[in-house]
Amino acid sequence: MARAYKRSSVENASIISIESEGIVNIKNLPWTISSLLQGSEHALEFGGGVWMHAFLNTFNYHRQHAPVSGKVIEAKNVQGAAYLEVDAQCRPIRIMCGPDAPNTPGYQFLQLRGVVVIDNPVLGKVAVLPIGMAMVSSVKLSVRKGDVVKKGDDISCFLFGGSDIICVFQAKAGLQVEDFVVSAGGTYSKMGTVLARAPK
């Protein structure tokens, strides 16, 4: 079972150990694994694993492929309340920063994200979450629960305005934060690039 989460020194990292209780910032908002996998029956099965967040620019490749082979045990879209603009404001008196989302008209939209959970017999469950962009969120899944996929198979795409992708691995995969290859500053990883190799 996953632990309770709290802010930690790794909150701005793009690859985080779930056991470290880290929170990752996506669009200046803090997220935990359970909040990302909102309503998923597998949300509490990733304790001790790792999760990775990657940013997709407007001109990047906007299709997602299965990172592992296995059986799709969950495939759905989640409508999540989100703000178009969230600024981090620092208060000089108490030297602390926090998200500041304006409550003006035009900033409240539903930000769609996909949830695809693949069960691999060796690595365990792997969750892939494509996250749409602002008010033009559009995640189209190309797999359904019960489908069997091979690594590299198409599983989803952004029809327009995609911006983030998250992969979550169980502890069974044996992955550590150090196993992931981080892109050099100012560069992007191309489709098919190896992000990490499980020791199994």
CA distances (Å), origin 54, targets 107, 109, 181: 24, 22, 12
Q: Is 179 helix (H, G, I), strand (E, B) or coil?
A: helix
User: Which DSSP category does 66 fall into?
Assistant: -
CA pair distance 164, 68, nearest whole angstrom: 19
CA pair distance 75, 66, nearest whole angstrom: 12
With beta carbons less than 8 A apart as the criterion, state whether 118 and 125 touch: yes
Per-residue tens of pLDDT for the chain, all 200 residues: 333 223 333 344 567 677 655 566 666 667 777 777 888 889 888 888 888 888 777 777 888 999 999 999 999 998 765 555 555 555 555 555 655 555 554 444 456 789 999 999 999 999 999 987 766 678 899 999 999 999 999 999 988 766 788 899 998 998 887 888 777 766 777 777 788 888 86
Long-range contacts formed by 1-4: CB under 8 A, 24+ apart: 1/44, 1/47, 2/33, 2/34, 2/43, 2/44, 2/45, 2/46, 2/47, 3/47
42: amino acid identity, one letter = H
Q: Is 135 helix (H, G, I), strand (E, B) or coil?
A: helix
With beta carbons less than 8 A apart as the criterion, state whether 85 and 101 touch: yes
